[in-house]
Amino acid sequence: MGHHNKVQYFQLPLSLKNPINILISIHILFFVLYCALGYFGFLEYKINDGETIEQFIQSALGLSFYDTSWQYGLLSVFTYQFVHTNFGEIMLSMIALWIFGHMVAKEIGASKVIFLYLICIVLSASVFILSHFVFTVFSGRCVMEGAYPGALAIMTTSLIFYKSFQIRVYKNISIPLWVICAVIILLSFVFVYKNSIAYILVYVCSVHIGYRFAVNKLSSTVFTKNAIQYSNLRGRLN
């Protein structure tokens, strides 16, 4: 990666010892399990009151709101991120989390990336729930699932940290980071987006969280550097 004439390299580790990769692996494991259940026909198996296993996964683990009745518990606020029902959605979310997560980790550390991701997951769930009370007519019957809200927040943070950076893909061919983010967002309308104002508000919330986190982090870094420079200057004067 390059920033004007400055070249900076990022390592995107594959080791499962890395916290970000552990999180990605858990998501992939749940998706593989879901696909296995579908392959062997278990998703259509009926359990309580004629409800299929697939319907149970979406109503109990996914974040759902049907009409004016609650179909989810507090647990689903945390579990909906692990419910992936199509390959395109999980591929897009995990690629974004892997690339941009490790980029942000270079600035704040992997543990804080996970913290940012989880905070966004919970806050996005809260926005999804509240939107059904405020926009009952426009929310409709929809289920929020997948890790895209958290990945979107991290992608936004990375874009603020490295807004002028480019990714070299082949020899002298480089692509600005913002173009890659734009492509991922456009693809999300194909693989992730659902026709619901609740989803739109969730995405806006994710972008805002990522933006505010990055801005606050950059501001605190500048303040710390200025304080150190001022302290060193006073030391020299004394």
Q: What is the pLDDT of residues 176-193, one digit of tens each?
A: 888 989 999 999 888 887
Q: What is the pLDDT of residue 235?
A: 45
What number does CATH give the domain 2-237?
A: 1.20.1540.10
Q: Which residues pair with 65 in a beta bridge?
A: 70, 142
Encode pLDDT of 131-180 as tens digits: 877 776 666 667 888 999 999 999 999 999 988 887 776 667 778 888 98
Q: What is the pLDDT of residue 231?
A: 44
The answer on pLDDT for 72 being more than 60 is: no
Please state, in angstroms and rounded to a whole number, the distance separating the CA atoms of residues 122 and 219: 25
Please state, in angstroms and rounded to a whole number, the distance separating the CA atoms of residues 1 and 165: 7
Distances (CA, A) of 82 to 31, 70, 238: 8, 20, 58
Q: What is the pLDDT of residue 221?
A: 62
- Residue whose token pair is 């807004």: 163
Range with the poorest average pLDDT among 2-16, 83-97, 191-205, 209-223: 2-16
Mean pLDDT of 70-86: 79
The overall average pLDDT reported for the chain is 81
Q: What is the pLDDT of residue 69?
A: 44
On whether the pTM is more than 0.75, the answer is: yes
Mean pLDDT of 75-89: 88
